[in-house]
């Protein structure tokens, strides 16, 4: 019996061993193929460390609560340990462990940065009279105003930092960093996004430590003048004086653009010019960034190298490239300080210094490793910048350029060779055009996600605008400022003005072309993450597996194109309502809607702001001075909408009937309990807790709120505390 009993057991064990052996063999083959692939890509593995940091920061912004953030940190720690434990010393295990650790570090950095911020917002709007120290001055000539960043002098109930707009007639002389001013102003908490998907200034203000914004109600009085001995005061004073000098030499729109290029001060750029630059894809030229810093540093290096090479003794004995790189670095630092040392400019400076360091060590001027090093430094110092368009646009542009020109076929096609002048010019123009198209493709998802628009002719416009700005306008301005020291700058200012006029003409002509801008409704976070992941996969790998990145790009694009845009948008204060009509046009509740709000509501609906209409113009709509009732057909069901648009009381019986007949009621005031629509009452009481709403009508109607997107992040919407009634 023992032998009979053992027979089946032995047979079973044999089958099991065979299955395990087969599975183990398949696993070993898969592991071997993975190791061979990673060995072939070993030079690219380090590039994924900054990607891991960015992914960790992005996860913190995306996940809703401390519990989810803690879960993400625990999951990444477990994944890192598993990679080390089961990798058995292989490249795959170490790669997974390092990437998971980078994700953990990114999430921890941004969480710590948010907790240590001093951006606790003002509790409720108020009018306050207080003394404050000026931290920063930003002239806004195009708006006849000046913007101040203030530190209130220990006033109870006020946040540590306040951003204030002062009308020009109320701004006295002596407004500079370090001065103490006495003022009266109306202050409000930093505004959250007006509607889901719009710009959320509350998040930006939190990390900048700004707890309130407002406007001065009376002329300011300088109580204590600033001490002029400090370097920060000297730099701020020099920047303001330089801006005024440029505006005096080139008045109007040309002066605004010239000042923006030299000092980074965009306050004098008119709204029309700014909009033209945005529509034409040239907006990056106005903000001091990597392009301007590269032009300044590169020109300084070339001039320094040529001048130093004039000395045979230095040319034979001194490391001229190293000396020129040092001079270029000093120029970049001075230029950054002169333009205000804003985070985007400092980030560009870091990247430039990394490149200069590579040049000094005899490396290539620009490689993906240098781009990765610059990105890693920026994320470690300013992790919150990852969520902003500035970081994403700048690194997407430089990453796409470097990755494109590192391709073998690109090197072969565009490398210098012995050929005729005409063919060499055609090759250079082709390289510029292809590079522009690659950059536009890389920036389009970011522009759509943040600004709900994408340019079509930006690549062609940049082919002319970038060389014009880099090789004509900026050198002409620099030489004009130098020549002004001896009173000979007039001809150079004339040249700079003519070149800027040409740049403005390019921006306006390109931006006004039919179809110059494509407006796209809100892109979801999931679709954006898919496109970004696919783009990084495509750019950073070198073997054929990189083409799998196209799957992510295609998936995110399909999600965006198939997404159903919202039918209604309600702002957080209830004053503004946007309805998407049957023809796709956006209908607004109020005729006197400001330009900013009109642009926000129309662009987030996927339309141009010039194409908006009034709600009164929609069919099946009855509007009066106090209320507006509309019937919207979605599918086979009518939706009845009621909105108030004045502060006057409405007759109770009429309002009671209107509320009962409505599916949705929208109001900027608190409506009584007896107003009971069939589905949603978005009045002041509800909107104080939800913020702006994006409403989709149909068989499964739903509403997305700003509060739901902000979740438990520190800048989340907080309902106002109840006022204490005193009898």
Checking if the pLDDT of 293 tops 90, the result is no
- Residue 99: both structure tokens together: 């990437």
Which range among 7-11, 593-597, 626-630, 704-708 shows the weakest confidence by mean pLDDT? 7-11
Residue 490, helix vs strand vs coil? helix
Residue 309 CA to residue 313 CA, distance in Å, equals 9
pLDDT per position as a tens digit, 168-214: 888 888 888 888 999 999 999 999 999 998 999 999 999 989 999 99
| Beta strand ranges found along 141-250 (DSSP E) | 145-152, 162-167, 180-188, 212-216, 221-224
Residue 660 CA to residue 644 CA, distance in Å, equals 15
* N-term to C-term CA, the chain: 98
Give me the pLDDT at residue 554, please: 95
Burial pattern 401-416, b for ≥16 Cβ within 10 A else e, equals bbbbeeeeebeeebee
126-227 has which CATH code? Answer: 2.40.50.140
Please list, in sequence order, all residues whose beta carbon lies within 8 angstroms of the beta carbon of residue 48, skipping any fewer than 6 positions away: 95, 99, 102, 540
Sheet holding 637-644, edge to edge: 621-623, 627-634, 637-644, 664-666, 680-682
User: Which residue in the block uniquely carries the two structure tokens 């000026």?
Assistant: 134
Residue 121 CA to residue 397 CA, distance in Å, equals 35
pLDDT band at 531 (very low <50, low <70, confident <90, very high): very high
**Rg of the chain over all Cα atoms, to the nearest angstrom:** 30
517 strand-pairing partners: 455
Average pLDDT value for the chain: 84
Could you tell me which of 439, 404, 57, 609 has the C-alpha nearest to residue 447? 439
pLDDT per position as a tens digit, 687-706: 999 999 999 998 888 899 99
Give me the pLDDT at residue 362, please: 66
Give percent above pLDDT 70 in the chain: 91
Helices 549-562 and 525-540 meet at what angle, rounded to 10?
160
Give me the pLDDT at residue 231, please: 65
Give me the pLDDT at residue 364, please: 62
Checking if the pLDDT of 556 tops 50, the result is yes
Please tell me what DSSP assigns to residue 209: T
Residue 581 CA to residue 681 CA, distance in Å, equals 21
pLDDT band at 6 (very low <50, low <70, confident <90, very high): very low
Arithmetic mean of pLDDT, 534-546: 93
Residue 378 CA to residue 714 CA, distance in Å, equals 22
- Residue 75: both structure tokens together: 């999951």
Task: Provide φ and ψ at 517, rounded to 5°.
Answer: -125, 135
| Beta strand ranges found along 141-268 (DSSP E) | 145-152, 162-167, 180-188, 212-216, 221-224
pLDDT per position as a tens digit, 377-408: 889 988 998 998 888 888 888 888 888 888 88
Between residues 12 and 71, which one has the greater pLDDT? 71
User: Which ranges of 152-199 would DSSP assign to H, the alpha helix?
Assistant: none
Please list, in sequence order, all residues whose beta carbon lies within 8 angstroms of the beta carbon of residue 166, skipping any fewer than 6 positions away: 145, 146, 147, 148, 175, 215, 216, 220
What sign does the dihedral 537-390-600-518 (CA atoms) show?
A: negative
Q: How far are the Cα atoms of 244, 262, 331, 382, 384 from residue 239, in angstroms, in the given order? A: 9, 9, 16, 25, 27
- Write down the domain spans for the chain: 25-115, 126-227, 241-519, 525-562, 568-710
Checking if the pLDDT of 526 tops 70, the result is yes
Between residues 325 and 167, which one has the greater pLDDT? 167
Give me the pLDDT at residue 721, please: 57
- Beta-carbon-side half-sphere exposure of residue 589 (alpha carbons within 13 Å): 27
Checking if the pLDDT of 418 tops 80, the result is no
Segment holding 133, helix H or strand E: strand 126-140
pLDDT per position as a tens digit, 9-61: 334 344 444 544 555 677 678 778 888 888 888 889 999 999 999 999 999 99
Helices 490-511 and 271-279 meet at what angle, rounded to 10?
60
- Residue 676: both structure tokens together: 């009971």
């Amino acid at each position: 019996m023992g032998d009979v009993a053992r027979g089946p057991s032995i047979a079973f064990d044999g089958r099991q061993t065979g299955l395990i052996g087969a599975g183990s063999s398949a696993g070993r083959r898969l592991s071997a193929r993975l190791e061979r692939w990673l060995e072939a890509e070993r030079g690219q593995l380090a590039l994924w460390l900054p990607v891991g940091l960015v992914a960790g920061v992005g996860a913190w912004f995306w996940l809703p609560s401390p519990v989810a953030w803690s879960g993400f940190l625990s999951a990444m720690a477990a994944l890192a340990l598993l990679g080390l434990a089961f990798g058995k010393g292989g490249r795959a295990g170490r790669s997974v462990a390092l990437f998971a650790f980078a994700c953990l570090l990114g999430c921890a950095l941004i969480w710590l940065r948010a907790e240590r911020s001093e951006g606790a917002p003002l509790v409720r709007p108020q009018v306050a009279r207080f003394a404050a120290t000026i931290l920063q001055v930003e002239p806004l000539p195009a708006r006849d105003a000046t913007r101040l960043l203030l530190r209130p002098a220990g006033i109870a109930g006020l946040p540590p930092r306040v951003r204030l707009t002062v009308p020009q007639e109320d701004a006295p002389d002596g407004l500079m960093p370090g001065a103490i001013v006495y003022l009266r102003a109306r202050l409000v908490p930093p505004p959250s996004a007006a509607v889901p998907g719009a710009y959320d200034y509350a998040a930006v203000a939190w990390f900048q430590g700004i707890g309130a914004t407002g406007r001065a109600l009376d002329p300011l009085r300088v109580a204590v003048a600033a001490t002029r001995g400090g370097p920060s005061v000297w730099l701020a004073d020099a920047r303001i004086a330089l801006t005024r000098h440029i505006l005096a030499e080139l008045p109007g729109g040309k002066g605004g653009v010239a000042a923006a290029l030299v000092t980074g001060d965009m306050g004098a750029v008119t709204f029309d010019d700014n909009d033209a630059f945005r529509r034409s894809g040239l907006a990056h030229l106005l903000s001091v960034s990597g392009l301007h810093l590269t032009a300044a540093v590169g020109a300084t290096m070339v001039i320094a190298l040529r001048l130093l090479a004039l000395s045979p003794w230095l040319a034979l004995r001194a490391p001229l490239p190293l000396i020129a790189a040092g001079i270029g670095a000093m120029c970049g630092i001075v230029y950054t300080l002169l333009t205000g040392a804003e985070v985007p400019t400092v980030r560009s400076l870091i990247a430039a210094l990394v490149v200069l360091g590579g040049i000094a060590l005899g490396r290539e001027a620009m490689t993906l490793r240098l781009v990765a090093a610059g990105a890693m430094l920026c994320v470690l110092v300013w992790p919150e910048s990852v969520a902003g368009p500035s970081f994403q646009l700048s690194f997407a542009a430089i990453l796409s350029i470097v990755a494109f020109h590192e391709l073998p076929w690109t090197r072969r096609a565009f490398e210098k060779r012995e050929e005729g002048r005409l063919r060499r010019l055609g090759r250079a123009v082709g390289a510029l055009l292809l590079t522009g198209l690659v950059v536009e493709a890389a920036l389009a998802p970011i522009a759509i996600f943040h600004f709900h628009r994408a340019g079509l002719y930006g690549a062609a416009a940049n082919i002319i605008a970038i060389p014009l700005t880099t090789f004509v306008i900026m050198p002409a301005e620099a030489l004009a400022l130098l020549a002004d020291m001896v009173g000979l700058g007039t001809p150079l200012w004339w040249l700079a003005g003519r070149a800027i006029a040409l740049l403005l003409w390019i921006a306006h002509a390109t931006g006004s072309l039919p179809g110059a801008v494509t407006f796209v409704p809100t892109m979801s976070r999931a679709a954006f993450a898919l496109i970004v992941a696919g783009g990084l996969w495509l750019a950073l790998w070198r073997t054929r597996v990189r083409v799998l990145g196209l799957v992510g790009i295609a998936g995110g694009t399909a999600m965006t194109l198939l997404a159903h845009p919202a039918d209604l948008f309600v702002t957080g204060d209830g004053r503004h309502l946007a309805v998407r009509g049957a023809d796709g046009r956006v209908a607004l509740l109020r005729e006197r809607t400001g330009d900013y709000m009109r642009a926000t509501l129309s662009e987030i609906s996927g339309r141009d702001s010039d194409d908006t209409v009034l709600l009164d113009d929609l069919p099946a709509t009855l509007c009066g001075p106090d209320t507006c009732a509309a019937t919207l057909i979605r599918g086979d069901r009518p939706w009845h909408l009621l909105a108030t648009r004045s502060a006057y009381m409405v007759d109770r019986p009429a309002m009671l009937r209107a509320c009962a007949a409505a599916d949705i009621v929208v109001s900027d005031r608190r409506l009584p309990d007896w107003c009971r629509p069939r589905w949603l009452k978005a009045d002041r009481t509800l909107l104080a807790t939800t913020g702006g709403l994006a409403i989709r009508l149909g068989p499964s109607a739903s509403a997305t709120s700003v509060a739901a997107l902000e979740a438990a992040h520190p800048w989340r919407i907080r309902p106002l505390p109840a006022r204490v009634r005193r009898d």
